[in-house]
Chain A
Amino acid sequence: MTDAILRVTGLHKSFGDHHVLKGIDFSVAAAERVAIIGGSGSGKSTFLRCLNFMELPSLGTVALDGREIGRPAGGDGARYYPEAELCAVRERVGMVFQQFNLFPHMTVLDNVMEGLVTVKGMKRAAARERAAAELEKVGLGAKFDAYPGRLSGGQQQRVAIARALAMEPEILLFDEPTSSLDPELVGEVLRVIRQLADEGRTMLLVTHELGFAYHFATKVIFLADGVFHEVGTPDEVLKQPRQERTRAFLARYTEFGF
């Protein structure tokens, strides 16, 4: 595949003695939507967080548009990642977190403007205009001056999505975006994500919402024990899994179905 925007080669990640990711090769092409599923502790969030260097890979490389990020340091495959380079990557690879991570001392509008002003160096007036447009898009046109603490979880997560979108990233990473939401608020966030899918955006989603993953994704990855256990279309992985391990994982979801 030559049209990969992002390519991961031989990715390992350890926290001390704990070997979380054990050699992952992966690439995303434009307009692909990848859902990553797996049990807790399987390493799916860690994998996602290595893509925008929230975690630094222990081994292996991440390449954006064919250019490997960082440079080799020492002979053992470790790499040195200068801050400026990582900041440039993060500008292009946006992220939405499970816990929203909005800035509580800024209004909703200021939250969305922050990256535009400090990172992109936009004038405040222009930044305000773009931030307002993104907030309208996620249905929060009436909440510009509210502080995050006054919003519901679903609204906060939509602000976080608007904040990431405003930076016009080429790839969006969602790290369990609905896992900390009350069940009745999950829908409003998933609808926004689906709307982004309809626009043809390139996205990676770590989620426990298998139903959503099925409809959302062009590719599903089942991650277990730090490796990709099964990769395929939503039908292949979620409906006709070939691996025993995948079937066992999916069975736990249907155990109490009705």
Chain B
Amino acid sequence: MDYQFEFALVLRSLPVLLRGLVVTIQLWVPSILLGLAGGFLLALARLSDRAWLRLPGLLYIELFRDTPVLIQLIWFFYALPILIGAELSPFAAALLGLALNTSAYAAEIFRGGIQSIGKGQWEGARALGMRRGQILRRVILPQVFKRMLPAFTNRAIEVAKMSSLASVLSVHELMYQGRLLSSTYYRPLEILTTVAFIYFVLIYPGTWLSARIEKSLAAKA
């Protein structure tokens, strides 16, 4: 092996890559938050006993889960302007696509979690005179949260990496900058290894924290 790994190049590229990282975070965090909020509402729709809420919820979830994310992002960027006449910036299209996609997955996590709680919990609370919303908030969700945490952590990791697909819409996030730099310098090994390392440093603290929370929740019960 006589390949010379150019560390100097890594250092030189770092400012540009870190600018990309900022954009990646700007895509990642809002997608997760919007996805969770949307996913919760979708899960309620899916679990509703009213068909006019349940069926559209189901359709939405399956549409987003069963088609490639890459195509969803491209679609929001190119098709939406044609359909509704409003031009989205590449960043907005990517954020919209990621958030909607995340909401479909989050909905299934919420639904699975809520359904995993036995009906005895609902009955115990109903027998006291609690309303559906109160039961969900105070009895069901606090128990579900613990069970859902690993699944949500997985999803958050997935979304962080998925956000790299925004590079095809020329959103200047981490992967876009990485690809640009590696084709500029013809040194993909250095640049992309650095990019991977930055993704790792971005994601790992989250998984570490999640494991800690899981452990402390398990200790409490």
Q: Which of B123-143 contact A (CB under 8 A)?
A: 123-132, 134, 138-139, 142-143
Pick the residue among B120, B126, B221 that contacts A147 (CB under 8 A).
B221
In the complex, A54 has a CB within 8 A of chain B: yes
In the complex, A126 has a CB within 8 A of chain B: no
A54 to B126, Cβ gap below 8 A? Answer: yes
B128 to A105, Cβ gap below 8 A? Answer: no
Residue from the set B125, B128, B139, B221 with the largest chain A CB neighbour count within 10 Å: B128
In the complex, B121 has a CB within 8 A of chain A: yes
A90 surroundings in chain B (CB, below 8 A):
126-129
In the complex, A103 has a CB within 8 A of chain B: yes
Q: Give CA–CA (A114, B120) in the complex, Å.
A: 16
Interface size class of B (residues with CB under 8 A): 10 to 19
B120 to A101, Cβ gap below 8 A? Answer: yes
B132 surroundings in chain A (CB, below 8 A):
83
In the complex, A163 has a CB within 8 A of chain B: yes
B143 to A104, Cβ gap below 8 A? Answer: yes
Q: Which of B149-170 contact A (CB under 8 A)?
A: none
Residues 65-108 of A, flagged 1 when their CB comes within 8 A of B and 0 if not, give: 00000000000000000011001101100110101111111000
Tell me whether A103 and B124 are in contact in the complex, defined as CB-CB below 8 angstroms, given that A114-B138, A118-B138, A149-B221 are known contacts: yes
B124 to A102, Cβ gap below 8 A? Answer: yes
B138 surroundings in chain A (CB, below 8 A):
114, 118
Pick the residue among B121, B127, B130, B134 that contacts A95 (CB under 8 A).
B127
A105 to B130, Cβ gap below 8 A? Answer: no
Seen from chain A, the residues whose Cβ lies within 8 Å of a Cβ on chain B are 52, 54, 83-84, 87-88, 90-91, 94-95, 97, 99-105, 114-115, 118-119, 147, 149, 160, 163-164, 167
Given contacts A90-B129, A103-B121, 15 further A-B contacts (CB under 8 A): A90-B128, A91-B128, A91-B129, A94-B128, A97-B124, A97-B127, A100-B124, A103-B124, A105-B142, A105-B143, A118-B128, A118-B134, A119-B128, A149-B221, A167-B128
